[in-house]
Structures are given as structure tokens and as C-alpha cells.
Structure 1
Amino acid sequence: MATLQLLFPLLVSCVAASAPLPLHLPPCQVVQMDVFCSDLSLRSAPHNLPQGIQMLDLSRNQVQNLTMETLAYLTGFHHLNLHSNKIHSIQPGLFKDMTDLKVLDLSRNHLNVFAQSKVNIGPLTAVQSLDLSSNGLYTGMSDYFLADSPSLANVSLDSNSITKIAQNTFSGSLSLRKISLHNNVILEIEDGAFDNLDSLTELDLSKNSITCITDFNLFNLKVLNLSKNSIELFHSSESTERYLLVHLDLSENKMHYFPLLPVKNRLEHLDISRNRLQTINVTGNPEKETEVFFSCLRYLDMSYNQLKSIPESFFYCMGKLEVLNVSNNCINSFSITNKNLLRTVKIINLSYNSLQSLTFGENTLPSLEELFLQGNDLTILDQHIFQRFPSIKHLELQQNNLEICTSDQKHHDSPNCVYFSSIPNLQRLNLSENNLRTLPKNAFADSPLKLLDLSLNPGLEMEKDSFNGLENSLVHLLLRENNISHLSLDLSSLRSLKHIDLSTNQLTTLPIWNKESSIESLNLQHNNLVTLDTSTILALEHSLKTIYMGSNPLRCCSNLDFLNMVQHSGVIVPDIETVTCIHDDYSEPVNIKKVTKEMCHKPTVQNSIIAVVVTALLVMVVLGLLVRCCHTRKRKNSRSFSA
């Protein structure tokens, strides 16, 4: 018996050891009355949650059956997040007693399985925001979630498989203000599907398969997104009632003609980019010009179409337009000569067209700040075209064929050149890829440029005074890929210059800078630099923060000051892995991080030979002196003992 008493605890401990250990899940985080149980592999909410919690986050767990037990028998939620679970079953009437629930997120579950039971989820008495996105729902299934949602204001049905919006789809949710149906396969919208939603202000139908809108009559709608469909035609209903639509996105469709929009509208943002527009006329008839009335329009994007021309008359009723984007079309001529047109426009983008003619009359475009003309192959412009814009700050002219006039050049000297001096507010100018051959003196005088890009103009010759007038303004200077072998300009005079790009040239020496230089970033990649001038390196060291030096044939032991700066100062070399130098003792280039002073102070074979020769000569000289001294003493001794 005593033996059994002794063995019993041992047996109990063995059984306990063999039993499976209880699974300890990480605890939820409780912040005031909000509980966060996200991503804990839970199948239900923990049962020890405090009473009165207002928000429960059970997202990214393993919940499959949504019941009162799953929610720990709590009903006082204001916000319930069940995003990214595996829910395929919901207890009937589960939300009936949740009279405070306003936000319900059921996205990324398997609610298509639940919908097959044809049981309504409701009533959702107080729910204002409902997310049903990514649930595999197809046509008709959303009805079981929306049939009894009297307070619902915002619903997301994104990324499902809905093909049709029926007339009664939203009949149980008449308070809706925002509906998102992005990324479905909607082919059809029945007449009247949205007509009873008097509060609806935002509708997202983007990324579907809608082919036409023939009778748009949602007068109270403010935001409509129809991008990424297959729309060929957009026509509003013929009504004298004023539409409240402010934002309309028709981008990435298949429209050949300009959309027929309400005469009385409040449109501020219109995007028709990436369509197949060949004309701005609604009917496609070139003899019948479109009358558009956009008295409130501020943003118009017609880029990436096939437009060949835009007459000035098109802008007659756009008194508030600020941004006009017609880039990437086939426009060969553009003009604004009426000084009453586009007086509020700040940005015009005409890039990547086929412009051969560009005309802006006197006193036109007084508010223009940014003009994009790159990629047009422009050759001839009015010499003073840019000096007419009192507010211009940013001018993009890369990929053209323009020549720069000098400030004192006369008209007949070079009628094809363009002036860039005396543009009082110009801060950014891009003239890269213009086949520029010379940069005349005073080219930018009295234009307070902060950024100047002259890259990709192979063979560009710059005069000593080319940058006169930019001493106190220029901060960024780009001269990459110009085939420059020597830069004789004194860049020290540009006292505000902080960033300069000289990459991909043929430079063999550094430009000259003094200690007053303010250079912070210097790009010297892909040049022919062998030895960097010590005085220049020391002058730059006090201000330099970043330097790019890859792909240069540097000599290791001729650039010890540069190596010391890189290794021991705060200067950053972002491409340091590609910065190498040549050392006589190594067959392959050495990365500059591995170079030491000792590598450059080792005695070479030649130095050893010289040392041996010098030592031998010294020994011979000393021996010669000793022999001579001995002979002299012998002679003296022989004289003293003579008879």
C-alpha cells in the first residue's frame, strides 16, 4: 500500500506529461473599449472579453460559422471587423439585436456559400457602412444582405462576380449615399436601378464591362466613376434640370466621340483619357461643332486619344479651367489668340503630340504656371513666345529641336532661335534632347532658374558666360550625356548650386570649385576620371553630402585624398559597390572600400633595386676613402723612419 502511495503521484505526473498541452493563443489587445484580435488564428472571439466593448476586430482569423457564440454573446458593438476569414455560414437574425452596430466589415470571406441558402442576413437596423467585397457574390446574391438595411449609407461590393444591377437591387437600402461596384463583370444596368436612391452622391462602377450609358439621369449624383469599362457612348438625358455631378471619370474606355453631358452641370473634374477620341464633337460630324457648357470645370484630361485638333471655340465656356491635359494625341496645331480664353488655366500639357505650329497671342494665359511641350519635335517658334507668360514657372521642352537666342541677339541673326532670358518667374526649364550645339552667353539672364536640364545634347559647347544671371538662383544643373571632355566654366560662381549631374560624359578632370562652393550632390558616373584634383576635393569636402563615382578608371594611389574623404567623412557614395580603382599590384580593379594607405606605401621592386644600388655606391665611396686614408698614413710613417 505504501508503495502504491509513493507511485501514485508518479503515475499522475506521467499521465499529465503524456496529455496534450493546452493551446495558448496570443491575447487580444484591449484599448479602452476597442478590442483587437487580428491575425491570431482564432475561430471565435475569446469568452473573457469585457462587457460594453464598442469595437471588435477579428480580421484575418479562421472564423467559419458566424454565431452569437462566435461573438462571445456580445451585442453592443458599434464596429465589427470580420475581414479575411472563412465565413460561409451566418446565424439567422444574428444582427437583429445589435441596435448600435454602425460599421460591419465582412469582406474577403465566402458569403457566396451563405447566399445560396437564400436567407436574408438582416435586419441590419443601424448599420451605416457595409463591406461585402471579395466574397464571390454573383447577380442577385447581394439582395440577401441589402434587403433590410434602412440606415445603410455606404456599401462596397467590389471584386465580386456581379453581371447585372437589377431594378430592385437596392430597394431595401434607400438611404444609400455611396455605392462601390468596382471590379465586377457588370454588363447591364436595368432602367431605374438607382432612381429611388435620392441620397446617392457617389457611385463607382469602374473596371466592369459596361458598353454604353444612353440616358444618364442621376441628377443628385456628385461623383461617378466609369473608368476601365468598354463604354462606346455616353449620353445624358435631355433635361433642363440642373445636374449636381462634380466628378466624372470616363477614362480607359472605347469612346470615339466626346460624351454628351448635361447642359446645366456643375462638373469640376472630367477625365476622358485613354479612349479613342478622334474629335471633340459628340456626333462625329466635323461640320457640326459641339457646344459644351462647363462653367465650373477646373480639370479636363483628354490625354492618350487620337485627337488631331482642338479649336479655340471649344474653350469658350470654360471660364474656370485650371488644368488642361491633351498629351499623347495627334495634335499638329494649337493656338490661343483670344485673350479672354483660359485666363485661369495654370497647367497645359501638350506633350507627345505632333505639334508643328504653336501660337499664343499677346496677353493670353495670364495665370499659366506650367507648360509641357516635350516630345513634339518643335523647330520654329515665335522667338518671344515664353516671355509672354508672366506667371510661368515650369517649362518642359525636352525632345524638340530648339535653338537658344542670346540676350543681345538680333532677330535677323537667327530667326529660328527662342529666347529664355527675361522670363521673370521661370524656375524649372528642361531643354534636354534638343540637339543643342551651343549655349550662348547670357542665355538665361534675368530668368530666376532653380533647375536647368541640358542633358542629352551631345557636343554641346558652353561659353564662359553661358550661366550669367543664375549665380544666386540655380540649385540643380543637369549636364549628363553631353559628350563633354572638359568643362572650362567656373561653376564656383553659381553660389546656390547644390546638385549637379555630369554623368556619362568624357571628363578627364574635375571642374574647378573653391571653398565657397555649396555643392551637396555630385554625379560623376561613367566618365574618364583617372586622378581627382586634390584642391578641388578639399574644397568640396565641407559641403558635399553625396557623390556618385562608379565606372571611372581611377588610379588607387593617385587619389588618396578622395579615398580618405569617402572612408572617413560623412560623404555618402550610393554606388560605392561599383566604384573601383586600378592598382599595379592587382590584376583586377579594386573596390575603393578595400584600398588602404599601406597598399600605396609598399616598397616596389624598382625602389628596392634603387636602394641596393645607392647603398652599394655609398659602401664603395666609404671603402675608397678608407683605402686612401691608409695609403696616406703609410707614406707618413715611412718618412719618419728614414735614415
Structure 2
Amino acid sequence: MDVFCSDLNLRSAPANLPRGVQMLDLSRNQVQNLTHETLAYHIGFHRLNLHSNKIHFIQPGLFKEMTDLKVLDLSRNHLNVFAHSKINIGPLTAVQSLDLSSNGLYTGMSDYFLADSPLLANLSLNSNSITKIAQNTFSGSLSLEKISLHNNVILEIEDGAFDTLDNLTELDLSKNSITCITDFNLRNLKVLNLSKNSMELFQSTKSTDSYSLQSLDLSENKMPYFPLLPRNNVLQYLDVSRNQLQSVNVTGSPERRTTVLYYLRYLDMSYNQLQSIPQSFFYCMASLEVLNVSNNCISSFSITNEALLQTVKIINLSYNSLQSLTFGENTLPLLEELVLQGNDLTTLDHQIFQRLPSLKHLHLQQNNLEICTSDRNHQDPPDCVSFSSITNLEFLYLSDNNLRTLPANTFGNTPLKLLDLSLNPGLDMDKDSLSGLERSLVHLLLRENNISSLNTDLSSLRGLKHIDLSTNQLTTLPMWNKESSIESLNLQNNNLVTLEPSTMLALEHSLKTLYMGSNPLSCCSNLGFLHMFQNSALVVPDIETVTCVLEDYSEPVNIEKVTEEMCQRPSIQNYVIPVVLIVLLVLIVLGLLIKCCQSRKRKPNRSFSA
């Protein structure tokens, strides 16, 4: 009994609606006046969707007899016009969900829709022009559980505006103009979103009462200090990113630390102005799993106390000013992902990552590290970093590190699945630099390294499936055999003229995706590749940019247009007849000339005497 009439340019519901209709969707039509006639005199609706019309008038008492109506969507209309009449639309005796978003409503207008809604649980007033939440705004809707006021212009919230809503668990006040919360006391609230305001202070009351708040979003505000949270809380998610935090102290004074965050699992303090985070800050965070302090000004980060961050799985320190990084023995036992990208690190304890027993993902892009050799007889450079024997490391990103050499056995006893060595121009790879990765390595990225030839034998990497060699200076393909498992190969922007037939034949059984654009290929020297492309399931996503040069043409030709016939040289038989004819013609002419000359010599001299 659901009727869908959206996008039909209607001004009212169809007159022939069957009896017993429970859901009517009249969204995105041309309804202007909402009356009994508009709804074809039906009153048994359970759900009524009228969003995106032009409703500016609602017949008084229209919903009084709709005792089964639970969901009413009036969003994206012109209800601000109706509100000027100062008439309540109620009672909404059974309505549990009401959407009044995008109606041009400003302060006080919502009262006419909420005055008599005893069972209303879910209310949306998003994208209106409300500037103030008055003390009596929700006095007629005391069952509210979720209120969304996103994208208004709220400047003021009167004391007690939400105090009578004992069931309220979710409150969205994001994207408004609120400057401070000085006495937060909503003990039953579980989710509070205050992001994208102008908050300079968040402070709860100094009560020892238990608070139910689990998620607090304070991102994109102007807070210089860490929020003062309820002492007795169960907060699990806290986002204070994109503020102006200069320290993790609550008021800026060392004696006032943050409150206990025993249950906190996710903490985001990225995009602030933090210069340091003392270890004591983590003393009461026994459940923390994700710590994001990226894009700050932190120069030193240290965890040496075994009792700290025992449950943390992800630490993001990217884009700071790290000069010192220290992890003590037996610390961070569950850390799986460490992000250190964009710190320009040059100095690290060479065994620092071996101390992290659960480490799987290590992001070291955009630093300036030097790699140790695993050869004990070889003199390592000072402050080099070792990547061997990191027992659980599977994903390692070392792109853009100014790496010059990659020693032999660099990753011995480290079960890498992905290795990114891109953007290290001039990288000199030892022939055994990838030794030890024969079975584990699946992804290898070597793009933009200015490589002209690979010394490393990639054919020994039997588990390798995806390799990126784009934007180098390769003139020949790496050698592979029929035991290779390459599925995806990127050779874009190189200097390849000929793809060796033996190599392409070896890859034919496994290769599924090939990128070949921007190479100076020869059309007739790559007929094997052409045959492979035309007669297999091989996908070339950049086929439109894959061109080659024919001997008879100066301009490159798209490889899709090349045929084997274009490269077939005319046979010798085709030349025989023209050559024979020319020779015969020359012989005939010579014969005629010789005969003419002989006839002249044989003529007798005739003389006369007087």
C-alpha cells in the first residue's frame, strides 16, 4: 500500500488513490496548498513525503485525524510563509519523525510545528535561519530523542533549552555561530556535534554526576585550549581537529590537565598548533585505539612508559616537524599502523621499528632517511634505519625519501606485501635488494625513479602481482618467465620501443591489466604485443594514448588502428614482372641502336666523274 508519485508535476495527490494507502510520496512536485483535498481526503497514512514542493499553506487541523501518521517530511518548502499566520499545524498526535529542513524558518517559527507533538522523537530543522534556541522551543515535544539543527545561524542557546528533554540522546548543532559552551550539563546526551562553529571554549559543569556522552565533535572551531570534559564520563570519540590548540592543557596552565578519558577510543587533534604532547597526557587513556595528531608543529614524540597506550592501533604523526621519535622496549604492543609522512626525518634509532611487534603499516613518505645494510661486515652510515626482521610489517611506503641506494637483503625476514620506492630519482638497487621477498611481495611501486634499466631480478618474486614502473627511462622490459604471476603492469612514460616477445609471452597467461601510454613504440616490432592485445582478455585502460610509429608514416598511429598487413613487405614475386619488362625494353632499344649503326657502315660510296 505504498504509492509513489514523485517528479510528476502534480499539484495534489491523484483522485483515484486506493483505500488503505499507508505511504504516499508526493515529493518534487508543484503542491502549494496542503489541504484535505490535496491529499484526496485520505487520513490513514503512516508515512507522508512532501519534500521539495512549494507548500506555503497548511489547512488548520489537517493532521488531527491522522492518528496513524508516524513519519512526516515537509522539507524544502516555503513554510516560513505559513508561519507568519501564527497558527499551529497540530496536533501531530502520532508523528514520531518530522523533517522541517530548508524552509526559511527563523527564530520562533518552529514553535508552530512543535507545539503539540507528544510522541515526536526525531526532528530535523537543518538549513534554516534560526538564530536562537529559546527555553520553550521544545516544550510541546518532550519525547524528542534526536534533534538536528545543522546549518543555521544559531548565536544563542537559552539556559534550560534542552533540560526538559529527558530522552534526548543525539544533538547536532554543527555549522552555526555558537562561540562557547560554558556549563554543559546534558547528562543523558550520547552524541553531540558542535563542529563548524566559532567555539572558543567548551566547559562542562564541575559535577561528579555520571554523563552518557560517547561522541563529541568540536572540529573546525577556534579553541586555543583542550575542552574541559565531565569528570565522570564514558566518552569514546573526541574530535578537536582544525582548531587553534597550542597545548593539551585545558586552560593553558600546566596544573590543569585534561580530565580522565578512560573509555576514549578515538582522538583526533590534527590541524592545530601543538608543539609537544607530554607522555602524562596519555596516563588516563586506557582504551585509546586511534590517535591522530597530524598537521601540527610537534618536534618530539616519545613513548617510553610500558603502561601507556597499551591498546592503541593507529598513530598518525604525519606533517609535523619531527626531529626526535622514541619508542621504548615493550611499548605499544598492539600498534598496527604508524604514519610519519611529511616530516623530513633524517635521524632515527636504526632498530626503532623492530620494537613494535604488531606493526603492519608503516608510512615514511616525504622524509630523508638512509637505509642500513644487513651485512654485518659492511660499515653502515650513521643514523641509518633498518627494515629487516620487522616480523609483521606488510605495507611499507618509502617514496620521496631521496634514497640513493637500496642495499642487498634490505628487507630480510620482513614479510612485505606492498613496497613503495617511488619518487627516489637515481635510486641504485642492488641485484639482491629485494631478496627475501620472493613469496610475500604482491605490490611493487617504482615510479618516477629515473630508472633506465633494472639490475634487480624481478622474476624471482613469484608472488608479485602488481608493479608500477611508470615515468622512468626504461628502454627494455625486466625479464620474467612463465612462473611469474604479474596481473597488473604500468609502463607509462618510458622509452620503450620494442616489447620483447619472450617476455610478453611469459606474461600472457597471468597479465590482466597493462598501462602502456606515452612510449615511442615501433608498430612493426611489436606485432606479438598487438596479437596479444587483440586476441586475449588483456585490458589496456590508457589505450587511447598508446601510439606507435610505422616506417611509412612520420606521425604516431594509435595502436588499435594497426594491422599486420601494414607491416607486411611486398614479396619478391611482385617485383619480378616489372623488372623483366624493363630489362626486355632496354634490350630491345639497345638492339635497335646496334642494328641502325651496322646498316650505316655497310652502305657503298657513290661518286661521279665529268
TM-score by length of 1: 0.89
Match of 1:496 in 2: 463
| Equivalent of 1:236 in 193, 204, 208 | 204
Q: 3-state SS of the aligned residue for 1:113?
A: helix
Report the equivalent of 1:416. Answer: 383
1:271 alignment partner, one of 239, 243, 248: 239
Q: What whole-Å deviation, never above 9, does each CA across 1:53-73 have from its counterpart, x for those lacking one?
A: 111111111111101111111
1:411 deviation in Å? Answer: 9.2
**Equivalent of 2:473, from 486, 506, 514?**
506
Answer whether contact 2:248 2:258 (CA < 8 A) is retained: no
- Please point out which of 346, 350, 375 is paired with 2:317: 350
**CA distance 1:211–1:468, shift in 2 (3 Å):** same
Does 2:126 align with 1:158? yes
Seen in structure 2, the aligned counterparts of structure 1 residues 418 and 132 have a Cα distance that, compared at 3 Å, is same
Query: For residues 281-313 of structure 1, what are the alpha-carbon distances to aligned partners after superposition, in whole Å with 9 as ceiling and x for unaligned?
Result: 11123x435142001000000000000000000
Matched, 1:203 2:164: no
- Which residue in 1 is equivalent to 2:157? 189
Tell me by how many angstroms 1:37 deviates: 1.1
Q: 1:371 to 1:612 in 2, by over 3 A?
A: farther
Letter in 2 for 1:375: G
Q: Aligned partners of 1:594, 1:57: CA distance in 2, in Å?
A: 53
Task: Say whether residues 1:122 and 2:102 are aligned partners.
Answer: no
The 1:534–1:615 alpha-carbon spacing in structure 2 relative to 1, beyond 3 Å, is farther
**Letter matched to residue 169 of structure 1:** T
Equivalent residue in structure 2 for 1:328, among 276, 281, 295: 295
Please state if 1:595 is matched with 2:595. Answer: no
How far apart, in 2, do the equivalents of 1:174 and 1:250 lie?
27
The Cα RMSD (Å) is 1.9
SS for the counterpart of 1:214 is: strand
* 1:286-435 paired onto structure 2 within 5 Å: 287-409=254-376, 413-435=380-402
- How far apart are the structure 1 equivalents of 2:577 and 2:275? 84
1:581 equivalent to 2:548? Answer yes
CA distance in 1: counterparts of 2:58 and 2:583, whole angstroms = 105
Q: Which residue identity does 2:425 align to in structure 1?
A: P
Alignment equivalent of 2:435, drawn from 468, 473, 477: 468
Instruction: Give the 3 Å change call, closer, same or farther, for CA 169–612 of structure 1 in structure 2.
Output: same
Residue in 2 that maps onto 1:640: none
Q: Distance in 2 between matches of 1:409 and 1:145?
A: 79
CA distance in 1, matches of 2:551, 2:175: 63
Q: Deviations over 1:326-374 (max 9, x none)?
A: 0000000000000000000000000000000000000000000000000
Q: Distance in 2 between matches of 1:102 and 1:487?
A: 68
Select the residue among 528, 532, 536 that pairs with 2:499: 532
1:206-242 deviations in whole A, cap 9, x for unaligned? 0011111111111110000000001011111111111
> Letter of the aligned partner of 1:426 in structure 2?
L
Question: Structure 1 residues 411 and 332 mapped into 2: Cα distance closer, same or farther (>3 Å)?
Answer: farther
Q: What runs of 5+ residues in structure 1 fail to find an aligned partner? A: 1-32, 624-643
Residue type of the alignment partner of 1:273: S
1:553 matches 2:527: no
Find the partner of 1:61 among 10, 29, 45.
29
Structure-2 residue corresponding to 1:131: 99
Q: CA deviation at 1:419?
A: 1.1
Unaligned runs of 5+ in 2: 589-610
CA distance in 1, matches of 2:582, 2:539: 51
Contact 2:217 2:239 in 1 (8 A): yes
Q: Find the aligned partners of 2:118 and 2:579 in 1 and give their Cα distance.
A: 106
1:156/1:323 Cα in 2 relative to 1: closer, same or farther (>3 Å)?
Answer: same
State whether structure 2 residue 44 is matched by structure 1 residue 81. Answer: no
Aligned partner of residue 524 in structure 2, secondary structure: helix
- Superposed displacement of residue 518, structure 1: 0.7
The residue number in structure 1 matching 2:454 is: 487
Residue 641 (structure 1) aligns with: none
User: Structure 1 449/619 Cα, relative in aligned 2: closer, same or farther at 3 Å?
Assistant: farther
- TM (norm. structure 2) is 0.94
1:106 aligned onto 2:74: yes
Q: Which amino acid in 2 is paired with 1:436?
A: L
Show the counterpart of 2:2. Answer: 34
| 1:170 partnered with 2:138 | yes
Kindly provide the amino acid, as one letter, of the partner of residue 4 in structure 2: F
Q: Which residue of 2 aligns with 1:477?
A: 444
**Post-superposition shift, 1:602?**
4.2
Would the aligned equivalents of 1:164 and 1:189 in 2 still touch at CA under 8 Å? yes
Matched position secondary structure for 2:507: helix
Note if contact 2:372-2:380 (Cα within 8 Å) is conserved in structure 1.
no
Aligned length: 587
Structure 2 letter corresponding to 1:207: K
Residue 583 of structure 1: CA displacement?
1.4
Task: Indicate conservation of the 8 Å contact 2:471/2:492, yes or no.
Answer: yes
Amino acid at match of 1:510: L
Q: Residues 411, 538 of structure 1: CA spacing in aligned structure 2 closer, same or farther, 3 A cutoff?
A: closer
Deviation at 1:582, TM superposition (A): 1.1
Q: Give the whole-Å Cα distance in 2 for the aligned partners of 1:320 and 1:280.
A: 18
- Once residues 431 and 284 of structure 1 are traced to their aligned partners in structure 2, the CA distance between those partners, rounded to angstroms, is 38
CA distance in 2: counterparts of 1:180 and 1:89, whole angstroms: 24
Aligned residue type for 2:80: N
* Contact 1:292–1:314, Cα closer than 8 Å, also in 2: no
Aligned to 2:59: 91
Whole-angstrom CA distance in 1 between matches of 2:567 and 2:367: 50
Shift of 1:166: 0.7
Contact 2:250 2:258 in 1 (8 A): no
What is the Cα deviation at residue 185 of structure 1? 0.7
The answer to whether the 8 Å contact 1:308/1:332 transfers is yes
Q: 1:262 aligns with which of 220, 225, 230?
A: 230
CA contact (8 A) 2:228 2:258 kept: no
**Does residue 1:250 correspond to 2:224, yes or no?**
no
Equivalent of 1:220 in 185, 188, 192: 188
Q: CA deviation at 1:616?
A: 9.0
Give the whole-Å Cα distance in 1 for the aligned partners of 2:584 and 2:325.
88
Deviates more, 1:70-79 or 1:332-341: 70-79
Maintained 8 Å contact 2:226/2:258: no
Offset of residue 47 of structure 1: 1.7
Match of 1:453 in 2: 420
Cα distance in structure 1, aligned partners of 2:553 and 2:134: 78
Show CA shifts across 1:125-152 (max 9, x none). 0100000001111111000000100000
In structure 2, what is the Cα distance between the partners aligned to 1:92 and 1:602? 90
Query: Aligned AA for 1:145?
Result: F
- Over 3 Å counting, the alpha-carbon distance change for 1:98 and 1:410 in structure 2 is farther
Indicate if the aligned counterparts of 1:350 and 1:372 stay in contact, CA closer than 8 A.
yes
Taking a change above 3 Å as real, the CA distance of residues 617 and 385 of structure 1, as seen in their structure-2 partners, is farther
Q: Distance in 2 between matches of 1:318 and 1:456?
A: 38
Cα 1:159/1:409, change in 2 over 3 Å: farther
Q: Distance in 2 between matches of 1:170 and 1:335?
A: 49
Task: Write the distance in 1 (CA, Å) between the matches of 2:427 and 2:363.
Answer: 19
Alignment check: 8 A CA contact 1:541 1:565 kept: yes
Looking at structure 1, the residues matched to 188 and 496 of structure 2 have their Cα atoms a distance apart, in angstroms, of 67
CA distance in 2, matches of 1:404, 1:611: 68
Q: Is the 8 A contact 1:298 1:323 kept in 2?
A: yes
Moved more, 595-604 or 302-311: 595-604
Contact 1:398–1:430 under 8 Å retained in 2: yes
State the alpha-carbon separation in 1 of the partners of residues 376 and 164 from structure 2: 69
Q: 1:588, CA displacement in angstroms?
A: 1.1
